[in-house]
Structure formats: C-alpha cells, structure tokens
C-alpha cells in the first residue's frame, strides 16, 4: 500500500471566466495566494494560465533560470506533493534522488521534466525525470539526477536534502516519446551529452518497458531498434552506466550503446572497454543510422544540440523526426 504524505491536502484555485482549477499542495499556500491574485487581476484565460511561470513570487535575476527559459512551454496544471525516499551519489558531481508522489493525478511522458518547488528556496528548479513512467504507475516513484552547481535548487539537493524532505513538483515539457499501441514502429537514436542523459534514459527505459510488454503479452507498441550515443568527460561522469549496460545485455537485438569520453586520464575498466570510444560523438556515426523509420532525440549542451540537429537537417532528416532539449 502506498504510504500517505503528511501534507497532501490541497488548495483549489479557480479563475474568473474559466472552469479550470489549479490544484496545489497546502505547503505552497503562500505561493498560491499571490498567483491567484495575479490571475484574477489579469483575467488570465485558460490558455495563458498554462504558461503561468510563478515569476511574480519566485523572484530571481538570473537570465538562465528554468522558469524564464521554459516560460512558453506547456505545463500540467497540477502541482503535486512529493517526499524524498532515496538519495545516492550517481557520480562525483551528480546526486540521484528517488521521490514518492502519492497524488494519482501526477503523471508524465518519458523525456519530460518537472518544476521543482522547495520550501524556503525562492528559486524554482527544473530537472528532467530519468525514470520510466512505468515506475510511477507501479510504485508511485520518480527519479531525478541533479548535477552540483551554485544554483539554489541544486545546492539544496546536494547540501540540505535528506530522506523525508518534502517538496512539490509540476510536470512540463514538449520533449518526449509517447507512442500509442497502433502507431508505426520507429527506430530511436538517442544522443546525450553530460547530464543530458536524464530524459534520454527515461525514453530508453520506457522503450524497454514497451518491448517487454509486447514480448510478454503479444500486444502493444512494437519498438524498433534503439541506439544510444552518450558522451561525458570521463567514465566516472558517465551516469547510469550499469542501468544502460543491463538493458543492452537484456535486449541485445534491440538496444545498443556507444559511450564516449573526451578527457579520460585513468585506465578504462575491462567491463566498460567494449562500449567506450575516446573522443567526441561524430556526425559520421550518427549519419550511419539515418532512415525514414528513425526518430532522433538529442539532449546536451547547446553547441552539441545545435550541431547534431543541423547535421541531421542537412542530411535531409525531416524536422518532425528531430527532437532536442537544451538545459544549460
């Protein structure tokens, strides 16, 4: 049975001229009052409300804030309470969190992110979910992996977050893989740099879940082949190595990976060596996998994302087959 959180009572905030309500945990009641006042005075339409960024109450001068960067991106209306139920170091600079979300209205598509609200921290974080939707369906859990930076939400996660810490989250994002059972089979090429692996791992895990379901039940979406290209500074910063290689070994006919390191200074372990290439991911490697049945998902530093999206376009891959996410 799913344990109940200690602050799941909610405030329903309704808006003039609209039947839509935004559901928010009691913990955020102070934020909600300001949001409701702003919406009422501005007479926000339901369409405009979807893009409400809370900037009036989450004040920050950083031009690269998550809420500023994603102000025009569609979000769900529900803000859900969550409790930290697990934490571990995924690498020397990245902490992995597991969060319990009891609210049954909370759901996401593989590849999406969350607005991350921390009591007492005025800046809202934005973190891609790295777990699969199936984990949430079965256990009411999601996973995040957050790199250490001086940004207040990341600092809180690395320095103050403990088991049972309480936060709130809202799902957003237009970068996702969510095929329906009758959709045409597609191959996937996933191109990741650094912590850009997070949404792509969610997609990889979701694709594996879909393949298991079809293999076990004889129905559901038929996934094609999946190829992951993942680059990091060194092997210690290649996140989720074991999870990735476990999937490669479980489904060798479906999933393959090419792990790249750009500044490796130590010896590469024997178990990793077959999968490691020293140097950056090249356009030649990616071009080899172009076909009319293939979708490309790219997430990493902006120069990397721009480079591969332009290379694919110049190779006549349709724009609707190229998806990318920029996070920093």
Who contacts 77 (Cβ-Cβ below 8 Å, separation ≥6)?
Answer: 20, 21, 22, 23, 49, 50
What is the C-alpha separation between 210 and 250, in angstroms, rounded? Answer: 14
Cα atoms in the 13 Å half-sphere on the side-chain side of 160 = 12
Give the gyration radius of the chain's Cα atoms.
Answer: 20
What is the C-alpha separation between 32 and 35, in angstroms, rounded? Answer: 5
Question: pLDDT, tens digit, for every residue of 87-99?
Answer: 999 999 999 999 9
Question: pLDDT, tens digit, for every residue of 220-274?
Answer: 999 999 999 999 999 999 999 999 999 999 999 999 999 999 999 999 999 999 9
Q: Is the alpha carbon torsion for 193, 194, 200, 201 positive or negative?
A: positive
Q: Is the alpha carbon torsion for 65, 69, 70, 71 positive or negative?
A: positive
Q: Is the alpha carbon torsion for 264, 270, 272, 275 positive or negative?
A: positive
Cα atoms in the 13 Å half-sphere on the side-chain side of 116 = 29
Closest listed residue to residue 206, CA positions, set 111, 104, 77: 111
Question: Across the chain, what does the average pLDDT equal?
Answer: 86
Which pair of tokens denotes residue 97? 């969190």
Average pLDDT estimate for 195-217 = 97
Determine contact, residues 126/113, Cβ cutoff 8 Å: yes
Q: What is the DSSP letter of 301?
A: S
Cα atoms in the 13 Å half-sphere on the side-chain side of 210 = 27
User: For residue 26, what pLDDT band results from cuts at 50, 70 and 90?
Assistant: low
Query: In degrees rounded to 5, what are phi and psi of residue 4?
Result: -85, 140
Question: pLDDT, tens digit, for every residue of 105-124?
Answer: 999 999 999 999 999 999 99
Average pLDDT estimate for 28-44 = 40
Cα atoms in the 13 Å half-sphere on the side-chain side of 98 = 12
Name the E strands within the chain.
10-14, 21-25, 80-91, 94-100, 113-117, 125-128, 141-147, 166-172, 187-193, 226-232, 255-261, 276-278, 294-300, 322-326
Is 46 a residue whose pLDDT tops 70? no
Domains for the chain: give ranges and CATH numbers: 70-172 (2.40.30.10), 186-326 (3.40.50.80)
The confidence score (pLDDT) of residue 292 equals 97
């Amino acid at each position: 049975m799913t344990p109940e959180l200690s602050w799941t009572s909610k405030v329903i905030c309704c808006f003039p001229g609209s039947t839509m309500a935004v559901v928010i945990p009691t913990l955020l009641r102070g934020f909600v009052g300001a949001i409701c006042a702003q919406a009422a005075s501005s007479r926000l339409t339901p369409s405009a409300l979807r893009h409400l960024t809370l900037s009036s109450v989450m004040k920050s001068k950083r031009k690269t804030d998550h809420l500023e960067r994603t102000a025009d991106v569609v979000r769900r209306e529900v803000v859900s309470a969550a409790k930290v139920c697990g934490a571990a170091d995924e690498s020397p600079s990245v902490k992995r969190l597991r969060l319990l979300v009891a609210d049954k209205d909370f759901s996401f598509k593989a590849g999406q992110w969350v607005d991350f609200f921390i009591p007492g921290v005025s800046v809202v974080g934005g973190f891609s979910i790295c777990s699969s939707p199936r984990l949430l369906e079965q256990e009411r859990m999601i996973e995040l992996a957050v790199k250490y930076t001086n940004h207040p939400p990341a600092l809180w996660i690395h320095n103050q977050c403990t088991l049972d810490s309480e936060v709130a989250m809202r799902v957003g994002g237009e970068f996702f893989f969510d095929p329906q059972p009758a959709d045409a089979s597609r191959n996937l090429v996933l191109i990741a740099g650094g912590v850009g692996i997070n949404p792509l791992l969610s997609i990889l895990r979701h694709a594996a879940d879909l393949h298991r379901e079809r293999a076990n039940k004889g129905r559901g979406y038929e996934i094609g082949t999946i190829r992951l290209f993942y680059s990091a500074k060194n092997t210690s910063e290649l996140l989720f190595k074991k999870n990735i290689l476990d999937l490669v070994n479980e489904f060798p006919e479906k999933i393959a990976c090419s792990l790249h390191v750009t500044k490796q200074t130590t010896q590469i372990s024997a178990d990793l060596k077959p999968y490691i290439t020293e140097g950056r991911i090249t356009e030649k490697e990616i071009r080899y996998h172009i076909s009319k049945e293939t979708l490309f998902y790219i997430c990493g530093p902006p120069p990397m994302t721009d480079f591969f999206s332009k290379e694919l376009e110049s190779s006549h891959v349709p724009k609707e087959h190229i998806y990318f996410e920029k996070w920093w």
